[in-house]
């Protein structure tokens, strides 16, 4: 019989880490466009948050591989609700009239620049995360059953490739379609997708070590053979 969530030693810590990374990657640096010069490619512009957001997919792979789709589903919903609260808090804080002194007047301008995302960007970010994360977890779970637990590296890369494709395509389409040219939109989506998926590949050895540690400590290696994959079902 499958154990309850509270019987695991590290599940709550992994959930907390996932939500923290998700919030930070969406709030810190998400609005900054960074640039790096690559050999044979030249200058590549990307959102600074892309350096850290893919780590949430690494945690998604770890959760599904060790604890199963049902428990990762709970974590995805926790992250989604955290994003909703962060968006609501940003709207409320920015709408408050700042104190009438030079510091707060200037500070309000900076807050507006960092946290004053348009409704399209907020909606795109939340929907892209929700859909991409569930695609990642679903593919990971199905591949594990089909491969009988073998080739973890293939499952990590394959599930992330699917999830990040959905995530990047949805976010930029919702947030910037009609604002950017179709050519620019496509170029940015491709660049972000390659960077995010590449980061997952680079981090595969770390994922292996964390998965091995958790399986050993939790005495768990869940297979989603009889799982209800309905994303709206919160019961494990």
Dump pLDDT digits (tens) for 109-155. 888 877 777 678 888 889 999 999 999 999 999 999 999 999 999 99
Q: Which of 86-100, 108-122, 181-195, 216-230 comes out lowest in average pLDDT? A: 108-122
What percent of the chain is predicted at pLDDT more than 90? 48
Residue 6 has pLDDT above 60, yes or no: no
Q: Do residues 97 and 43 lie in contact, with contact meaning Cβ atoms separated by under 8 Å?
A: no
Q: Do residues 71 and 236 lie in contact, with contact meaning Cβ atoms separated by under 8 Å?
A: yes
pTM here is 0.87
Residue 31 has pLDDT above 70, yes or no: no
Report phi then psi at 230, rounded to 5: -60, 115
* Model pLDDT for residues 159-169, shown as the tens digit of each residue: 999 999 999 88
Report phi then psi at 37, rounded to 5: -100, 120
**Which of the four pLDDT bands, split at 50, 70 and 90, describes residue 52?**
confident
CATH number of 5-218, picked from 2.60.40, 1.20.1510, 1.10.1760, 1.25.40: 1.10.1760
Residue 2 has pLDDT above 70, yes or no: no
> Any bridge partners for residue 177, and if so which?
180
Q: Do residues 167 and 189 lie in contact, with contact meaning Cβ atoms separated by under 8 Å?
A: no
- Going from N- to C-terminal start, the domains of the chain cover 5-218
Distances (CA, A) of 214 to 5, 14, 61, 62, 193: 14, 10, 12, 9, 29
Q: Do residues 59 and 18 lie in contact, with contact meaning Cβ atoms separated by under 8 Å?
A: yes
Q: Which residues contact 113 (CB under 8 A, 6 or more apart)?
A: 31
Residue 5 has pLDDT above 60, yes or no: no
Distances (CA, A) of 226 to 77, 141, 144, 229: 21, 11, 13, 9
> Any bridge partners for residue 43, and if so which?
37
**What is the rounded distance in angstroms from the CA atom of residue 45 to the CA atom of residue 191?**
8
């Amino acid at each position: 019989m499958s154990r309850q969530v509270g019987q695991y030693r590290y599940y709550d810590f992994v959930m907390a880490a996932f939500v923290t990374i998700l919030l930070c990657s969406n709030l810190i640096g998400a609005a900054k466009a960074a640039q790096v010069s690559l050999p044979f490619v030249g200058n590549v512009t990307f959102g600074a948050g892309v350096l850290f957001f893919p780590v949430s997919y690494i945690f998604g792979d770890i959760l599904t591989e060790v604890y199963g789709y049902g428990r990762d589903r709970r974590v995805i919903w926790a992250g989604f609700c955290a994003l909703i609260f962060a968006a609501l808090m940003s709207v409320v804080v920015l709408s408050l009239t700042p104190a009438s002194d030079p510091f707060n007047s200037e500070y309000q301008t900076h807050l507006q620049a960092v946290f004053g995302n348009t409704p399209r960007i907020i909606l795109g970010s939340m929907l892209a995360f929700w859909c991409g994360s569930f695609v990642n977890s679903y593919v990971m779970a199905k591949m594990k059953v089909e491969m009988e637990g073998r080739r973890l590296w293939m499952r990590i890369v394959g599930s992330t490739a699917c999830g990040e494709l959905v995530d990047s395509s949805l976010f930029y389409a919702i947030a910037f379609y009609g604002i950017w040219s179709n050519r620019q939109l496509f170029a940015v989506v491709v660049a972000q997708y390659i960077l995010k998926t590449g980061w997952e590949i680079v981090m595969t050895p770390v994922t292996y070590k964390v998965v091995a540690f958790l399986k050993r400590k939790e005495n768990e290696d869940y297979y989603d053979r009889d799982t209800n994959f309905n994303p709206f079902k919160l019961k494990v």
